[in-house]
Each structure stands twice: as C-alpha cells, then as structure tokens.
Amino acid sequence: DAMVIQNPRYQVTQFGKPVTLSCSQTLNHNVMYWYQQKSSQAPKLLFHYYDKDFNNEADTPDNFQSRRPNTSFCFLDIRSPGLGDAAMYLCATSREQNRNPEQYFGPGTRLTVT
Amino acid sequence: AQSVTQLGSHVSVSEGALVLLRCNYSSSVPPYLFWYVQYPNQGLQLLLKYTTGATLVKGINGFEAEFKKSETSFHLTKPSAHMSDAAEYFCAVSFSGGYQKVTFGIGTKLQVIP
C-alpha cells in the first residue's frame, strides 16, 4: 500500500544533542510537510517542500532545518534540541492538484528531550 | 486570512447516540474543508473533504459533514457513536489553487461512554 513512513516512531535525545527524524513516501507526491504537534494542540506547520523548493514558516526557529534529497525522502534536523522541542513530529504529503488537496500523514515521531 | 474554530475541546456522547462536532471557518475565498481524525500516538487520517459540488459529504466510518456557506460551517456528524470513535478530531481549511497552506482547528476530543 502507498503510504507515508516515519522513523523512528519514538526518539529520545539529550538536551543540545542534534537529532534527525526521517520521512519517506511511496505516494510520489510532490509536496512534503513537517508539522510539530504538542499535547492537546493542533499541528503547527514548520516548513514544506514544493518539489525541491523549500518554504520555511516565518515563526519556525532556526534550530529546525530540513533536507529533501529526492522525491521520496525528507528529513527534519533539530540542531540543538531544547526541552520545549519535545513533541510529536508529523510528516505529511500532498499532490498539487485542485481536486485532491488533502494531506496524507505519517504515524509521527514522538520526540523526548532529556 | 483563513481560520477555523472548533466549538468544544471535549465532547462526550453515549454509545449509540448522535455525534455532532462543530466547525466554523473564515475564508475570503471559496474554501476547501477537511475533517481529520487522530488516534493516540498516531498521525492524522482524512475522514472526509469538501472541495466543490455536493455540500453533503460522506466520509469513512459512517461520518458525514455538510458545507453551509451561509453559516460558514462544516459540522461533522455520525448517527450512532461507537466505542472505536473515541479519538481527537480536527477540522481544517485551505484555499483552492495549487499549493495552499492548511489551517487546523484546535481539535475536539470525543469520548464515547458505554
């Protein structure tokens, strides 16, 4: 089945230790997104890729970076995680088509910062 | 600018009772509207969407929603709640035309009482 895969599902890192979260998709969608979701809150968009074009949200901290080496993969790098970065990180994809604007989400990576 | 308001962060219903989750939106152009469901420690799954055409939209798991332009509403309903419906539900809005940012509501946690 076509899907969005996130690894790992649970990640524990230490305060200030760089961490990378990964996302892959078999849907061949050209748009990929990273969201941060804290407990009992809506997902907050961090950035998205439209093909290879990177689009950062204005309020996304510089501590968060992303890479998309090809259509299928996208990575979220947190350079110096703080306690406030503990959250669920969701990857999503979509087509750029008016008739199919919905996003497809992966299962998420829950990040714990100790 | 677009926004979504979900009335009621927590809703409790008895098993077999009607489920009604409220969503109002604001948008300066015709919107695309979505309902997503999120189970604990999972990503978001699309329940249903409205883009154009029929204003009553049927989704998965027996849910449906009606787009009412005059009321700027897109409420989610299900005639008879099942225990498996207990989850968090997010209403979301975007615009038509290529890539458009999706704005999520704060979510409504549905509790189903046996």
Verify cis geometry, omega within 30 degrees of 0, for the bond prior to A8: yes
For residue A14, pLDDT over 90 is answered with yes
Q: Do B43 and A110 touch (CB under 8 A)?
A: no
- Looking from the CA of A30 toward its CB, the CA atoms found within 13 Å total 11
Lowest mean pLDDT among A98-102, B3-7, B59-63: A98-102
Which residue carries 């998965």 as its tokens?
B60
Other beta carbons within 10 Å of B8: 12
Residues 6+ apart with CB under 8 A from B67: B33, B50, B55, B56, B57, B73, B74
pLDDT at B95 over 80: no
Set of chain A residues whose Cβ sits within 8 Å of the Cβ of B46? 102-104
Q: What percent of chain B has pLDDT over 90?
A: 74
pLDDT band for position B52 (cuts 50, 70, 90): confident
Q: What is the pLDDT of residues B60-94, one digit of tens each?
A: 999 999 999 999 999 999 999 999 999 999 999 98
Average pLDDT, chain A: 92
**B42-61 mean pLDDT:** 92
Cβ atoms of B64 and B77 within 8 Å: the answer is yes
> Highest mean pLDDT: which of A47-61, A73-87, B46-60?
A73-87
Token match 């997503």: residue? B36
Tell me if chain B has a CB within 8 Å of the CB of A41.
yes
Taking contacts as CB-CB distances below 8 angstroms, the residues of chain A near B101 are 45
